[in-house]
């Protein structure tokens, strides 16, 4: 056995001995880098740790000048070390100083060294630091040396996260003062309680094994236990009711049986790792591959795999329980950097009042489950985990996207009142479910819900909605393991129509591409997928796919009216081509004696600015239109709605955007074509009030928004508002939010029922 191939095993033994010694953490770090340099025959081994601000500090070195330790700092992304930390990828080069990212630091004395191997130190998806080796000789390090350093980085990560290093490394801050954080609403509600920090990871005690057969047996047993636990989780009573969560969790079952994942685990075991270390290795490899991919769909897939890996780790080390499985306070507010949907279900739902996440947004799977459980939840809250301790008092205001950690008594008192007020308003909204949405001056408004899965349909009765204004058919495709057959699609659509009874449902044809990717469909990488091959563009290029879905919808709708809506139509020719394909399917059904819908109504979504200038040609060819305000706004202002740096820069109540909406409404009225708006702004009382002032009489939103919007309508004089909007749109520029809010206040229109000034 060569010295390099034996390096991982020798290193593990030596490093375990160092870890077991008493003494200061700094002394152990110094000993670790010395041993790595010795075993790998490297002249330099250095350890850089990440500070709370993202910079990197040299914490230990063998070979560089000792005076540089704690005195060499690299800014975020600076130098080769900074590049490794940002990309979470190793760098292996024979001449470091030729690399464009090389940053010379004279205090280190590293100018005489040429070859360079750097490895990120990762734990739970976070880069904690970087470990490097260097030599004067110009060489590219061998696979065995890379494996040795990779295994070592896993062990160093254990030391860092064990809490034995100083608070500055872990990013700790003052744990006594009150702090305020902002984030995005992912599940409505307000909660007061105590912090429980979610820590899904477990400490791995053994990394190497000489008995791969035994490790494979342990892996098989662990996988069997994992799959059984998922089956039990899906059988929970509280998850049998309506909600998108059920399909999300069904996907876990598929991932747990994914043979590709299992094969990668077996390959890692074959390299000499224990089953636990194999899980860690595969997770680290997947993170590194996925980090450059900013697609939201694949980010959610990565979280699912992380969740499964964490569960499998806990099983392999002997069923280690998290706080979720032991005692929890009755007013738990769960805090996490990120978590999978299934991980949330490990916690007793009756004790969970709130959830705060640093990385997940409203479209994440854990957000879907949080909404299903009725938990107040906020996402995208920066650097909360490092500032919170289990047991801290905390207030979560998901309606405003605010978190108060260790709040003052005044804040607690104010929010205690707000919680009582919130509960009273929810009861009031529920009482309105059977009341028509009629304004003070007699205007009848149609309120519909947006849906995407069969389990959403009970929300029709629960909310008192008038129908489904947008049924996103692509959601069923996204959660499926393979492309649904025509018979499967037909069965789903029939069930949806039966569940809706006599209420209308607008089915949007397949809208994938952009941030909605089908895992079983090959999609070429695009620089700007939101503007690329997606929606009707893709389905017209794949007519077989489009016709299969249309045939399934036509057959499922026999004897009923079918509302069929085409997404992202950009020009007249696309509508004409789509109508031809639809007619072909109608003729096919008639020829073969299949009963079709009683009536077919074809509409389009207006979400591309170009279509607004073709309305006089388009409207005579459609039976209805629906405004997709989310995409229309992002295209109008060239602001990616998934990019947090620009998503909130342009207000949906900006005069320019309202003028665009008004143009569509006016044109539709002139052609006697019904128009609905089904974007996010429809579910916000102030925004929906503005839409009514522009002339809209049909809007579609999430089921939870029906109550607040209906309450607003019942307190509104639409004619008075319309006259007011004519005035302000002629005299104001920029956002009209302030004058509209003032109108609501002066006329007692209920647009912000939960507002609280603190």
Q: For residues 452 and 496, what is the distance between their CA atoms, to the nearest angstrom?
A: 10
- pLDDT at position 524: 59
525: confidence class by pLDDT, cuts 50, 70, 90 = low
User: Is residue 172 pLDDT above 90, yes or no?
Assistant: no
Helix (H, G, I), strand (E, B) or coil at 571: coil
- pLDDT at position 321: 46
Question: Structure tokens of 652?
Answer: 């949906």
Q: Is 355 in contact with 343 (CB distance < 8 Å)?
A: no
Q: For residues 277 and 9, what is the distance between their CA atoms, to the nearest angstrom?
A: 13
User: Is residue 445 pLDDT above 60, yes or no?
Assistant: yes
User: Is residue 102 pLDDT above 80, yes or no?
Assistant: yes
Q: What is the DSSP string of 328-363?
A: --TTEEEEES---HHHHTTS-GGGEEEEEESS--TT
Q: Determine which of 276-285, 358-367, 570-579, 684-693 has the lowest per-residue pLDDT on average.
A: 358-367
User: Is residue 755 pLDDT above 50, yes or no?
Assistant: no
- pLDDT at position 674: 96
Nearest in space to 700 (alpha carbons), one of 674, 675, 678: 678
Q: For residues 642 and 364, what is the distance between their CA atoms, to the nearest angstrom?
A: 12
What are the catalytic residues?
A: 365, 678
Q: What is the DSSP string of 167-200?
A: HHHHT---SSS-EEEE-EEEE--EEEEEEEE---
CA angle 699/703/707 to nearest 5° reads 80
- pLDDT at position 728: 94
115: confidence class by pLDDT, cuts 50, 70, 90 = very high
HSE, side-chain direction, 13 A CA sphere, residue 709: 30
- pLDDT at position 303: 62
User: Is residue 708 pLDDT above 60, yes or no?
Assistant: yes
Helix (H, G, I), strand (E, B) or coil at 473: coil
Strands 624-627, 126-135: parallel, antiparallel or unpaired by DSSP?
A: unpaired
234-248, 298-312, 344-358, 598-612: which is most confident: 598-612
Nearest in space to 409 (alpha carbons), one of 176, 755, 178: 178
pTM above 0.75, yes or no: no
Question: Structure tokens of 330?
Answer: 């009755």
What ranges in 479-571 are assigned the alpha helix state H?
A: 486-500, 535-541, 543-556
Strands 91-93, 332-336: parallel, antiparallel or unpaired by DSSP?
A: unpaired
571 φ, ψ to 5°? -150, 160
Q: What domains appear along the chain, each with residue ranges and CATH number?
A: 3-170 (3.30.450.40), 179-200+323-424 (3.50.30.10), 212-316 (1.10.274.10), 440-746 (3.20.20.60)
């Amino acid at each position: 056995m060569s010295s390099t191939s034996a390096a991982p095993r020798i290193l593990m033994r030596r490093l375990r001995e160092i870890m077991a010694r008493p003494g200061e953490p700094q002394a152990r770090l110094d000993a670790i880098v010395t041993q790595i340099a010795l075993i790998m025959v490297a002249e330099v081994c250095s350890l850089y740790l990440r500070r709370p601000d993202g910079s990197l500090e040299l914490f230990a070195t063998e070979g560089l000048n000792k005076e540089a330790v704690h005195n060499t700092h690299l800014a975020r992304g600076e130098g080769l070390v900074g590049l490794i930390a940002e990309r979470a990828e190793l760098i292996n080069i024979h001449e470091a100083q030729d690399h464009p990212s090389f940053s010379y630091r004279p205090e280190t004395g590293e100018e005489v060294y040429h070859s360079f191997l750097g490895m990120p130190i990762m734990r739970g998806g976070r880069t904690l630091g970087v470990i490097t080796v260097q030599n004067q000789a110009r060489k590219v390090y061998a696979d065995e040396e890379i494996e040795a350093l990779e295994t070592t980085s896993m062990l160093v990560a254990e030391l860092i996260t064990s809490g034995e290093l100083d608070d500055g490394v872990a990013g700790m801050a003052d744990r006594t003062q009150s702090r305020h954080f902002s984030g995005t609403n992912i599940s409505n509600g307000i909660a007061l309680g105590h912090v429980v920090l979610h820590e899904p990871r477990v400490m791995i005690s053994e990394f190497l094994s000489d008995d791969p057969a035994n490790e494979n047996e342990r892996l098989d047993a662990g996988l069997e236990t994992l799959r059984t636990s998922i089956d039990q989780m899906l059988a929970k009573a509280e998850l049998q009711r309506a909600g998108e969560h059920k399909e999300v969790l069904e996907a876990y079952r598929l991932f747990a049986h994914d043979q590709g994942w299992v094969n990668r685990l077996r390959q890692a075991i074959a390299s000499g790792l224990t089953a636990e270390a194999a899980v860690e290795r595969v997770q680290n490899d997947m993170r590194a591959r996925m980090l450059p991919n900013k697609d939201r769909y694949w980010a959610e897939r990565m979280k699912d795999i992380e969740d499964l890996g964490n569960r499998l780790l806990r099983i392999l080390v002997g069923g280690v329980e998290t706080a979720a499985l032991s005692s929890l306070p009755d007013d738990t507010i769960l805090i996490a950097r990120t978590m999978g949907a299934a991980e949330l279900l490990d916690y007793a739902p009756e004790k969970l009042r709130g959830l705060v996440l640093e990385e997940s947004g409203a479209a994440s799977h854990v957000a879907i489950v949080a909404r299903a459980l009725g938990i107040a939840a906020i996402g995208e809250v920066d650097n909360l985990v490092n500032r919170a301790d289990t047991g801290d008092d905390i207030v979560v205001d998901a309606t405003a996207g605010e978190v108060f950690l260790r709040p003052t008594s005044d804040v607690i008192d104010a929010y205690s009142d707000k919680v009582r007020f919130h509960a009273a308003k929810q009861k009031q909204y529920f009482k309105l479910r059977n009341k028509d949405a009629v304004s003070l001056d007699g205007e009848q408004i149609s309120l519909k819900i947006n849906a995407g899965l069969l389990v959403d349909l009970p929300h029709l009765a629960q909310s008192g909605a008038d129908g489904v204004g947008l049924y996103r058919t692509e959601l069923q495709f996204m959660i499926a393991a393979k492309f649904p057959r025509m018979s499967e699609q037909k069965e789903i659509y029939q069930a949806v129509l039966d569940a809706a009874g006599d209420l209308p449902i607008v089915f949007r044809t397949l809208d994938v591409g952009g941030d909605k990717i089908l895992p079983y469909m090959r999609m070429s990488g695009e620089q700007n997928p939101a503007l690329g091959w997606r929606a009707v563009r893709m389905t017209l290029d794949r007519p077989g796919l489009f016709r299969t879905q249309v045939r399934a919808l036509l057959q499922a709708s026999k004897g009923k009216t079918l509302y069929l809506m085409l997404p992202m139509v950009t020009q007249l020719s696309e509508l004409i081509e789509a109508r031809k394909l639809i007619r072909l399917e109608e003729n096919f059904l008639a020829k073969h004696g299949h009963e079709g819908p009683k009536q077919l109504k074809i509409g389009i979504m207006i979400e591309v600015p170009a279509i607004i200038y073709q309305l006089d040609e388009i409207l005579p060819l459609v039976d209805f239109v629906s405004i997709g305000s989310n995409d229309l706004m992002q295209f109008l202002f060239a602001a990616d709605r998934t990019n947090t740096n620009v998503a909130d820069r342009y207000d949906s109540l900006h005069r320019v955007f309202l003028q665009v909406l008004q143009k569509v409404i006016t044109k539709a009225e002139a052609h006697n074509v019904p128009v609905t708006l089904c974007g996010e702004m429809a579910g916000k009382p102030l925004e929906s009030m503005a839409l009514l002032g522009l002339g809209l009489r049909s809007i579609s939103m999430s089921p939870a928004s029906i109550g607040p919007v209906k309450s607003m309508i019942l307190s509104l004089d639409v004619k008075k508002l319309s006259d007011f909007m004519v005035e302000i749109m002629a005299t104001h520029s920029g956002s009209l939010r302030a004058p509209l809010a003032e109108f609501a206040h002066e006329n007692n229109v209920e647009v912000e029922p939960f507002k609280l000034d603190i």
